[in-house]
Amino acid sequence: MRKPGILCAISFLVLINGLPVFGQQAGQPPQYRQEAAPVSVQKISPHVYEVSGGAGANCSFIVGEKDVFVIDAKMSAESAGEMISLIKQTTDKPISHIILTHSDGDHVNGLSGFPGNLDIIAHANSLKYIEKANEGAVEKVPLPNVTFSDRMSIYSGKLRIDLIYFGPGHTDGDIVIFVPEDRVAILGDLFFKGRDPLVHRIKNGSSFGLARVLLEIIGLDVRIYLSGHADPADKVEIERLYKHIIEIQDKVKTMAGEGKTLDEIKKELGVPTEKGFWPSFAEVIYQEIAAGGLK
């Protein structure tokens, strides 16, 4: 691992089995994608800015005492370039790191639009998925060169940025970026607003794991949460999502225990029974129950 001087409190984990998944293709099904809009910047706190618009998910950047940390990379080199231009208009401090919340294409495909001398930080599992996607891709995505498995902190002067892995949720490589001084957390796709969560079982995501992750997130001393596909949220909204997940899980568990089929469960929950772009949240829960994934 490179740049050991900036890393602390890192625990390593043996990489687990990867699956053929995407890093260079569309990261979200149609209902989760955002309408294309001009790339824009919103100041969230003294150090944290959110970038919306363009191709791909919302991104963020953190302006430290000495340098800038970019969170996620948009879905295209063009949108990444637009984001870089706006960062340069916001601060004259140099970009030093890109931190990836996870490996989906709408968060990582724009990496090729950044200078090649930047450190790219991600969870070890996310690195595996990007590597796998690169195998069959015409245009390769630059790989993270700094990985961790549990938790690490990086600094810009006295400003500390915590990168925390709470376990599988949307995927098994999602991390939370927490800026304690500003009480801001960046969640990637661990939070969706006004819609069911999206869980990639193909990337070892877990609905029951997501509930546990959200409990950990709620426990952080945070006042503003940023995410890939929603406006800034407060703790009440995170708690609301957690309760919604538990409610759906309880309903699916009860109906599955009564011997109802997946289609019957979907009908009772008002979920379309036809096969969608990706499995519905209720279907993911049902599959986890069938596989004994209630631990």
Q: What percent of the chain has pLDDT over 90?
A: 81
In a domain, 65, yes or no: yes
CATH no. for residue 23?
3.60.15.10
In a domain, 283, yes or no: no
- Of the pLDDT bands very low, low, confident and very high (cuts 50, 70, 90), residue 277 is confident
In a domain, 265, yes or no: no
pLDDT, tens only, 218-272:
999 999 999 999 999 999 999 999 999 999 999 999 999 999 999 999 999 999 8
- Claim: this prediction has a pTM higher than 0.85: yes
Mean pLDDT, the chain, rounded, equals 89
Number of domains making up the chain: 1
C-alpha distance from residue 205 to each of 78, 190, 262 (Å): 30, 10, 20
pLDDT, tens only, 168-187:
999 999 999 999 999 999 99
Low-confidence winner among 21-35, 135-149, 196-210 (lowest mean pLDDT): 21-35
In a domain, 165, yes or no: yes
In a domain, 51, yes or no: yes
Amino acid at 229: H
Q: Return the ∠ at Cα 138 (arms to 135 and 143), rounded to 5°.
A: 55
In a domain, 210, yes or no: yes
In a domain, 276, yes or no: no
The token pair at 258 is: 């009564």
Q: What percent of the chain has pLDDT over 70?
A: 87
Rg of the chain on CA atoms, in Å: 19
**Strand order, beta sheet including 224-226:** 151-156, 159-164, 176-179, 184-186, 224-226
Output phi, psi for 52, to 5 deg. -125, 170
- Of the pLDDT bands very low, low, confident and very high (cuts 50, 70, 90), residue 276 is confident
In a domain, 225, yes or no: yes
Range of the domain at 66: 7-12+19-234
